[in-house]
Structure 1
Amino acid sequence: MSSQAGISTAQSGHGAVGQSVSKKGDWDLPPIEDILSDLSGFSSSLPARGAEAVDSEEQQGMFRALRDIIEKAQESDEAGNNFDLQELHASLEESDATTRRGRRDAETLQSVIDTLNKLWTCNSEYLVQATEIIANGSRDPLWRAPFGQSGILKFFLDVISLKDEVDTGLLLHSLRVIGNSCADTDENRDIVVKGNYTLAIIRYFLDPQLVFIAIPVIYNICMDYEPAHTQIATNRTAYILLKLIKDGEIENNEALLNFSYDLIELASEQAEGIEKSPDGTILLLTELALDETLEFSHFSSLVTSLTAYLEKEKFQTVCVSNGMVEGILDVLRRSFSIEFDQSSAEDVKAIAQLRLKINQALAEVSASPLFAQHYPLDSSISQSLKSWVVADEDQLQICACVMLGNLARSDEVCQVMVRDLKIHEELISVLNGESRGAVLHSSLGFLKNLAIAGDNRVILGEAGIIPAVSRLWAYESVPQVQFSAASIARQVIISSIDNISHLLAPLSQDPDSPANQRTYLSLLLSLFEKSDSMPIKTEIGRTVASICRTLSPKARDGDEQANTLLDKLFTLHEGVALPLGAMITQTQWPVVRSEGWFALALMATNKLGCAAVVDCLHKTEVTELLKTTLGAETSGQDGAEEEIDKSQENKDRDNAFILVKELLKNEAGALPVGYRDMLGDLVKAHTFQLGATADA
């Protein structure tokens, strides 16, 4: 909103506001009168009317004197009686002081305020005319500050706060004075806000003869003035305007609708106002946003406001408990059919931002514990979301993945989604398609949730999850996709020898193809070499560690498949131990470091694995850490945190000790003599240290 409303004179023609309580379903939409009656009243500083008798001739003289003061400094506004609301969008025309006559200051206006008080006190018929002259003069920007400084603005604020005691003509021109005086003039706006006079003005939204001017007055007070935003929000202006629009009280009036939607959006930016709004506010916002005749700018204001309300837990609960989530989904769907200027970069950016806001709101709503209670898997909304997984629109796909992913919070639900709904098949098809990064990321996040439960890992493996994610390991443009794709691989192979075999399967079944000697794990190791991301490197290391953790015990027990897979692991994958070295040398996650020591020790129990471990020791800083770890003394500090550190140190030292012992037992000449002697010395030193500790 960049322009002020120039306020001239009257225009009417609106129907009366209904008085009955409006209800839709279980919603209670309180009448505006009830909203306003809850808010505080006003105390006017005006003297009593009729308290002083002034003869007609003197009244006329006072009026003429007032008129002369204003009109000597202000050219007559011949268009004053030809007011057109369309002009409200135009900025007020700046006055050229050199072409005006007379002075414009508070001192000059002192006699004017005295005259106004006298005309009020004697209940003069000239007061309306005098107010109209001042209202016309208030269109001149140079009068604005003096009107505030002289007390004229305060006089008319007190007049409109009385309401029932004042005739419509006087109220009309008083509102004009207030609205024009506050345009671009913060010192006058401050006078209005300090007295909470915005509430008095808002009450005229219910007057069909004055609503057309009261709304632009509030608009002028609020333009680029934060304190007024807060006050109109606290006075529940958003709900009042939404109710008036919904009830048809501001229809067929483009200018008023523009002002109204802008004010609704302004009010929605204030947290305090949102908290005080009736529950039905989000119903009104949703229903109006779904109006097929709505202009894009109005749709934008409504959606921005709606998503602001849905950031609050109160309205998230209201939304879910009252079955409104379908309506919010309809608003998202509506964003793809509403007309906007596609040649306008601003509009294109705006519609994209609106869709993101709606999706974020739906993500928050579906994260509520109440969501699963009101929208179980067999609900119609779940069916709709399932169909959106493979929709043509990115934001619909993202919405479906996030919301269904939020439903997938228990093993039981995850298993039903995979076993019965087979939703994983659609998600895998998305990964195999040409979807953009944001869709891929949300699909991977959903799949990761599904992979945690029961037999789902096996089902995902059989459905081709490994080949599907493997193509995304090269998705360099979006590192989050690379990380999630690597993370899925780790997730599905946990304790699953079948999925490990999928990961170690050849890229080509043609024995003459070079790809026959490369596996999907080879691609993952290539990502490890290329990536600078420690989380990605660590995730790949944890994948290798998981393979060792699953296969090594089975191989020791004579499991033929496990032995075959271990052979493939070490013979086809040069540098397979390097990701474990990255786990050990990183300093961010102590638990991951311990996991790396353990996996490297497991690898060393295999004669082929020993060569990979030796390669890791030569190419990384693990050797130095090995010396440090085996030589470290147990911390003597006390306290819970120190106990955890002590336990971690002990675990790392034990795993490092096992690693060295297994290397010395299985290396079969892979270690240089000097290196082997160094490792032997480490074992002796550590054994001696253990003995000393025991003796102590």
Structure 2
Amino acid sequence: MSPDVNLDSFSESIEVLEAVVGALEYIAENDTIQRVIVSQDQLTTLLDFVDHRPTFAPPASDDTTSVTDAYADIRKRISRIVTLVTMNDSNMVDIPKHVDIMTRFKQWMTLGLHTGKELEEDEIRMSGALCIGNLARSDEACRALVMDHGVADALLALLTMEMERVKAGSALMAAGTSAVNEIKSCVKVIHAVVGAFKNLSIAVADRKVLGQLGIIKPIAGLLDIEVVQPVHFPCIGVLKNLCAGGNELNAFRIITGLEPPANETKVAKLDISSVTPQSKTPLTKLIKHIWKATGDNLTNVRNEGGRVIVNLVRTSHLAGAPQLINVVVQSSGITPLIQIVTGALLTRVNEDQKPTDGSQNELHHHVHFDAVPSDGQVFPVVQNEGLVALILMANAVPTSIPIITKYHASLIAISKKILLSGLPDVEKEKEAAVEVARDSKTGLQPPPSEEVLYSDEVKVNCCLFLGVLASADATFAQIALPEINPVLDKLTKWTSVSNLTAASAVSEKSALAYKEAANRGSATSILSRTGTKSVKRLVHSNVEGGPSTAESVEEGLRLAEAVKRLKGVLERK
């Protein structure tokens, strides 16, 4: 730190620092050490080191360059140690209480800005964003970070700057100039910022503020930038969180791309009759991105994207704003909902399938999927949410029904699968008995069953969905009748009074499987934290867990009533 230190002393100090930092990197992964660093006020020492630049200015030489580069690398390594410290649960509670420390994290995110040293300081800016993301792991911490420390403003400024750098770098590469290293560095920073926003947006109290700050447009804008593909999935998660739980102003922003008038809190009071879908709204950017996610390994993108649209429809319904749901329909929002219900992959229309009469037909949607659902592409929780959204959409916007029913092949196929789930199949049981007998002779064990079990709640919503379509579309009713009626006959027998005990047992088993699926999905951000609810309760509630045994009996009775009503609609009774 002395200005008159010589090069040899500086080099020796670097060697000592490298040894010290190596030891810190090793022990800082331990929870106890992480806690000690904060409880004994040692975190400030690490922050001071990252913020310090040597006053020593040696003459230019290769040796000098190597030692100064080594010092810069040590600063980055210590910033990574700080991120480890913020992962501790106790520190998550303690650190936000220190205004000076939070100020330092925000200052890290501005290091090197507009000085020509953006690339040099990228990793430290990334560490600042990671620290905030690590601290944002509880509702209380998120509230403090956004409301008390204003971290969202700093994150948004950093995101905006890094997006500009990525666009500039992409332009250079298009012109033949290499900017790969800078773009990669920017992507790492953007990933940290989006991750922090995603954690902050989980807290219900923060969603309104984040929307007001204007993070929706840049987050959606990232979906248009191919080189930041690693952040696309968390971007969808941010949008999903922001419009969940009845956040109608954020839903308005996502659907229309517009900012609601100041001091207005109810979208139902807004005149949105003249609002038409635009090509560059957050919603249309999302739908375009979903359509591009056609690979088998992109199921999570399609499901998470579809769930954003589910939240938009649900929130618009709760807000009493059918006009917004109509904009979703006009923006081709039905297709992703059909996809999460059926699991059919989105594929482009083949050239030989294009209509010759000049009509739009399937080309209007740019996709064609009328296929049997693919294995492994459906998740009961997500399907149930999709069914509810389609029911609300059909009730609010009758013109959406012909668009929905054009996908009758996929919808009827998945409906049969849902409604027959858990019911005894004599032929399958005979086949299984033959397989067991054969395997007992060969000594081979039969593979475990992969059948998806649906709760009675999902079956009720499926019946309601089919009923809405059949009531308004006679052609769909005619197509569905020979396929669905035999299924309803089986369900009628199964839900009769003499079978209520057995039905309850199956329902309980289905509910358990459903809850296990939800728990698995929450770890991958594919499934919701909501459990099985009726269509009304699902719209108004986010309560976790499946139905109890007593509720299962009640759901069995509700299913019997739903089956009876659907049968009457199909047969026009």
Q: 2:332 aligns with which of 573, 576, 583?
A: 573
Residues 657, 344 of structure 1: CA spacing in aligned structure 2 closer, same or farther, 3 A cutoff?
Answer: farther
Q: Which runs of 5+ in 1 are unaligned?
A: 1-250, 255-290, 637-641
Distance in 2 of aligned mates of 1:512 and 1:602: 22
Aligned equivalent of 1:386: 106
Residues 634, 649 of structure 1: 8 Å contact kept: no
Residues 129, 193 of structure 2: 8 Å contact kept: yes
Aligned equivalent of 2:543: none
Aligned equivalent of 2:561: none
Aligned equivalent of 1:424: 152
Residues 314, 423 of structure 1: CA spacing in aligned structure 2 closer, same or farther, 3 A cutoff?
Answer: closer
Post-superposition shift, 1:670?
A: 6.4
Distance in 1 of aligned mates of 2:279 and 2:79: 44
Specify the code of the residue in structure 1 equivalent to 2:381. Answer: V
Specify the code of the residue in structure 2 equivalent to 1:625. Answer: I
Q: Which structure is larger by alpha-carbon Rg, 1 or 2?
A: 1
Specify the code of the residue in structure 2 equivalent to 1:567. Answer: N
Specify the code of the residue in structure 1 equivalent to 2:249. Answer: D
Residues 474, 482 of structure 1: 8 Å contact kept: no
Post-superposition shift, 1:311?
A: 2.1
State whether structure 2 residue 386 is matched by structure 1 residue 591: no
Aligned equivalent of 1:541: 306
Of structures 1 and 2, the one with the larger relative CO (CA 8 A, separation 6+) is: 2
Correspondence list, 1:243-258, <5 A: none
Aligned equivalent of 1:665: 471
Aligned equivalent of 1:458: 208
Identical aligned pairs, as a percentage? 21
Give CA deviations for 1:101-140 in whole Å, capped at 9, x if unaligned.
xxxxxxxxxxxxxxxxxxxxxxxxxxxxxxxxxxxxxxxx
Aligned equivalent of 1:117: none
SS of equivalent to 1:540: helix
Distance in 2 of aligned mates of 1:348 and 1:578: 58
Residues 126, 193 of structure 2: 8 Å contact kept: yes
Q: 1:564 aligns with which of 323, 327, 330?
A: 323
TM-score when scaled to structure 2? Answer: 0.59
Aligned equivalent of 1:690: 495
SS of equivalent to 1:323: coil
TM-score when scaled to structure 1? Answer: 0.49
Post-superposition shift, 1:303?
A: 2.0
Residues 388, 566 of structure 1: CA spacing in aligned structure 2 closer, same or farther, 3 A cutoff?
Answer: same
SS of equivalent to 1:577: helix
Aligned equivalent of 1:303: 21
Distance in 1 of aligned mates of 2:61 and 2:393: 62
Residues 505, 519 of structure 1: 8 Å contact kept: yes
Post-superposition shift, 1:485?
A: 0.9
Aligned equivalent of 1:45: none
Residues 253, 259 of structure 2: 8 Å contact kept: no
Specify the code of the residue in structure 2 equivalent to 1:548. Answer: V
SS of equivalent to 1:549: helix
Distance in 2 of aligned mates of 1:468 and 1:301: 42
Post-superposition shift, 1:646?
A: 9.4
Q: 1:328 aligns with which of 46, 51, 64?
A: 46
Residues 598, 655 of structure 1: 8 Å contact kept: yes
Give CA deviations for 1:264-302 in whole Å, capped at 9, x if unaligned.
xxxxxxxxxxxxxxxxxxxxxxxxxxx966554554333
Aligned equivalent of 1:258: none
Post-superposition shift, 1:307?
A: 0.9
Distance in 1 of aligned mates of 2:6 and 2:67: 24
Distance in 2 of aligned mates of 1:470 and 1:424: 16
Residues 479, 253 of structure 1: CA spacing in aligned structure 2 closer, same or farther, 3 A cutoff?
Answer: closer
State whether structure 2 residue 403 is matched by structure 1 residue 609: no
Task: Give RMSD over aligned pairs.
Answer: 4.2
Correspondence list, 1:243-282, <5 A: none
Post-superposition shift, 1:470?
A: 1.1
Aligned equivalent of 2:169: none
Post-superposition shift, 1:366?
A: 1.2
Aligned equivalent of 2:232: 482
Distance in 1 of aligned mates of 2:258 and 2:67: 46
Correspondence list, 1:404-443, <5 A: 404-435=132-163, 436-443=186-193
Distance in 1 of aligned mates of 2:21 and 2:144: 34
Q: Which runs of 5+ in 2 are unaligned?
A: 113-120, 164-185, 261-272, 345-372, 426-447, 503-573
Specify the code of the residue in structure 2 equivalent to 1:573. Answer: S
Aligned equivalent of 2:84: 364
State whether structure 2 residue 254 is matched by structure 1 residue 503: yes
Residues 612, 437 of structure 1: CA spacing in aligned structure 2 closer, same or farther, 3 A cutoff?
Answer: farther
Post-superposition shift, 1:501?
A: 0.8
Residues 664, 680 of structure 1: 8 Å contact kept: no
Distance in 1 of aligned mates of 2:25 and 2:56: 18
Residues 507, 381 of structure 1: CA spacing in aligned structure 2 closer, same or farther, 3 A cutoff?
Answer: closer
Residues 630, 381 of structure 1: CA spacing in aligned structure 2 closer, same or farther, 3 A cutoff?
Answer: same
Specify the code of the residue in structure 1 equivalent to 2:252. Answer: S
Post-superposition shift, 1:695?
A: 9.5
Distance in 1 of aligned mates of 2:414 and 2:315: 26
Aligned equivalent of 1:519: 281
Distance in 2 of aligned mates of 1:612 and 1:658: 18
Distance in 2 of aligned mates of 1:655 and 1:344: 71
Aligned equivalent of 1:530: 292
Aligned equivalent of 2:356: none
Aligned equivalent of 1:631: 420
Give CA deviations for 1:185-226 in whole Å, capped at 9, x if unaligned.
xxxxxxxxxxxxxxxxxxxxxxxxxxxxxxxxxxxxxxxxxx
Specify the code of the residue in structure 2 equivalent to 1:400. Answer: G
Residues 310, 316 of structure 1: 8 Å contact kept: yes
Could you list the structure 1 runs, at least 4 aligned residues long, displaced by more than 6 angstroms after superposition: 251-254, 335-353, 511-515
Residues 629, 497 of structure 1: CA spacing in aligned structure 2 closer, same or farther, 3 A cutoff?
Answer: same
Distance in 2 of aligned mates of 1:679 and 1:347: 76
Distance in 1 of aligned mates of 2:11 and 2:69: 22
Post-superposition shift, 1:694?
A: 4.2
Distance in 2 of aligned mates of 1:469 and 1:428: 10
Aligned equivalent of 2:462: 656
Distance in 1 of aligned mates of 2:501 and 2:40: 71
Post-superposition shift, 1:551?
A: 2.8
Once structures 1 and 2 are overlaid, which stretch shifts more, 571-580 or 479-488? Answer: 571-580
Distance in 1 of aligned mates of 2:7 and 2:217: 59
Specify the code of the residue in structure 1 equivalent to 2:82. Answer: L
Residues 466, 502 of structure 1: 8 Å contact kept: yes
Aligned residue pairs: how many? 393
Residues 346, 600 of structure 1: CA spacing in aligned structure 2 closer, same or farther, 3 A cutoff?
Answer: farther
Distance in 2 of aligned mates of 1:315 and 1:540: 40
SS of equivalent to 1:504: helix
Distance in 1 of aligned mates of 2:419 and 2:303: 23
Distance in 2 of aligned mates of 1:605 and 1:515: 20
Specify the code of the residue in structure 2 equivalent to 1:674. Answer: I
Give CA deviations for 1:403-439 in whole Å, capped at 9, x if unaligned.
2233334433422332343321222222222351111
SS of equivalent to 1:391: coil
Give CA deviations for 1:550-601 in whole Å, capped at 9, x if unaligned.
23355xxxx2xx1111111112325242443366854575433443344344
Post-superposition shift, 1:456?
A: 1.9
Residues 548, 599 of structure 1: 8 Å contact kept: yes
SS of equivalent to 2:203: coil
